[in-house]
Amino acid sequence: MLAPVRPAVFVGARLLDGRSPDAIANGVLATDDRGRISVAGAVSGVKAPRDAERIDATGLTILPGIIDCHVHLSLRLEPVADQVQRSATDLVVRALETGRDFLDAGVTTIRDAGYTPAGIKRAFASGAFPGPRMQVSCTPLSQTGGHGDGWTPSGAVLETEVSDLPPGIADGVDAVRRAARMQIRAGADWIKVMATGGVLSAADSPDASQFTVDEIRAIVEEARAAGIHGTLAHAEGTSGIKNALRAGITSIEHGDLIDDEGIDLMLERDVPLIPTFNINFALMDEDRVASGDVPPWAIEKMRYLFDRQQVNFRHAMERGVRVVMGTDSFNGMYPPAELAYMAEFGLGPFRAIQAATTDAAALLGLADEVGTLEPGKIADLIAVSGDPLAEPGLWRDPARIVFVMQGGRIVADRRGA
């Protein structure tokens, strides 16, 4: 079970509240017995409670907890021979373990972008297991032969059957409506659409458009009718990105080959881009390639996309596209590194922090609860050693995140290490 909520007051810290790039050099932050922030500001301007546990945060920067809007708790990069040994129980155990690890790394809220059942969300919310606050999309929707189709040339289908992850392969407007309704029935907060081919699918190219505009529009309509949070599109190829935008998608994931027309549509409809650099670097990692975790076809496709995405991302930033953090991370990956990549590839250190806090909270419909250090908000926060505005590369080093709190509960305290 989770640790109890106890009032605490942090002293001596630099505060970055997620709203302003101007840090409070000598700040005070207090939390109450409801797990919410009661005080946040400069030591000279606020009154800290006397009956709270005092936590010395000298030399640390306190920020809102990280919000990752594209994860896969139940997946792992692994050889095909290992994938076919995975049972439904293995999938659940892996999701619980990965959620715990992400929370320990400072990721306090997530949107799972596919293959994790809603029961995992409930397990974290109940306090039975440690894990991030969570929204799920259940099974991504894919056309036959699309990025979500686990078919292989041998005839084997790389897919673990789980009762509360309904099938996602559908073709035609009526079929995709039914598939979307099945995900909603299973507890989906979002519907994930495979609008293009991808890197880790054997039968397609990232350039390939998948689903028609009418099919995607039907999925969007079902999400709106059900009153769930929205829809997200795996979209790497140029035409597929624009198809998803014209159909009314809520967010674009990856966006590797976006062009100016696609950027125009994103700006016109205020749709955020979620670049997911973390997975790209994982797929190019020499050790993962050597071990067979990354199949040969995926390596070729990733090499094709790698530099193009970085160039297109910079261009989208220069034109004003809104960015939200998502990593495509799963077991064995380190989500906070995404902030360093976003900062380096054109977003800058502060806007990268906003992408992972205020802007991410807004996308998930949680802006009133999390994403900033303000009185009344849920006490989700992290403390890092150093100044991430001056040294954005610190996000790559797990040792630099020394304290994690979620809902007023201390998750990790490594200040003495």
Q: Of 34-48, 66-80, 117-131, which one has max mean pLDDT?
A: 117-131
> For residue 247, is pLDDT > 80?
yes
For residue 107, the one-letter residue type is: V
Angle at 114 between CA 205 and CA 116, to 5 degrees: 145
Number of other residues whose CB lies within 10 A of the CB of residue 288: 17
For residue 383, the one-letter residue type is: A
pLDDT score at 49: 80
pLDDT score at 43: 87
Residues with a catalytic annotation lie at: 192, 328
Q: Residues of 152-174 as b/e, b for ≥16 C-beta within 10 angstroms?
A: eeeeeeebbebeebbebbbbebe
- The residue-averaged pLDDT of 173-197 equals 98
> For residue 214, is pLDDT > 70?
yes
Task: Say yes or no: do domains 8-64+371-413 and 66-363 share a fold.
Answer: no
pLDDT confidence tier of residue 1, bands split at 50, 70 and 90: low
Matching CATH number, 8-64+371-413, of 3.40.50.970, 2.40.50.100, 2.30.40.10, 2.60.40.2220? 2.30.40.10
CA 316 vs CA 15, 165, 200, 308: distances in Å: 30, 35, 25, 12
> Where do the structural domains in the chain lie, given as residue ranges?
8-64+371-413, 66-363
Find, among 266, 258, 395, 373, the residue nearest to 320 by Cα: 266
Q: Residues of 38-57 as b/e, b for ≥16 C-beta within 10 angstroms?
A: bbbbeeeebebeeebeebeb
Do residues 313 and 275 touch, judged by C-beta distance below 8 A? yes
> Regarding predicted confidence, which is higher, 165 or 83?
165
- The residue-averaged pLDDT of 252-259 equals 98
Edge-to-edge strands, sheet with 133-135: 66-71, 107-112, 133-135
Write down the mean pLDDT value for the chain.
94
Q: State the Cα–Cα distance between residues 396 and 399, nearest whole angstrom.
A: 9
> For residue 157, is pLDDT > 70?
yes
Q: Looking at the whole model, is its pTM more than 0.75?
A: yes
Find, among 414, 411, 416, the residue nearest to 65 by Cα: 411
pLDDT score at 156: 67
pLDDT confidence tier of residue 262, bands split at 50, 70 and 90: very high
**Residue 398: DSSP 8-state:** G
pLDDT score at 233: 98
Q: State the Cα–Cα distance between residues 110 and 87, nearest whole angstrom.
A: 24
> For residue 82, is pLDDT > 80?
no
pLDDT in tens, 271-292: 999 999 999 999 998 888 888 8
Q: Minimum mean pLDDT among 157-171, 189-203, 374-388: which range?
A: 157-171
The CATH code of domain 66-363 reads 3.20.20.140
Burial class (CB in 10 A: 0-12, 13-18, 19+), 1: exposed
Q: pLDDT exceeding 90 applies to what percent of the chain? A: 82
> Which residue blocks in 270-320 are alpha helix, DSSP H?
277-283, 286-290, 296-318
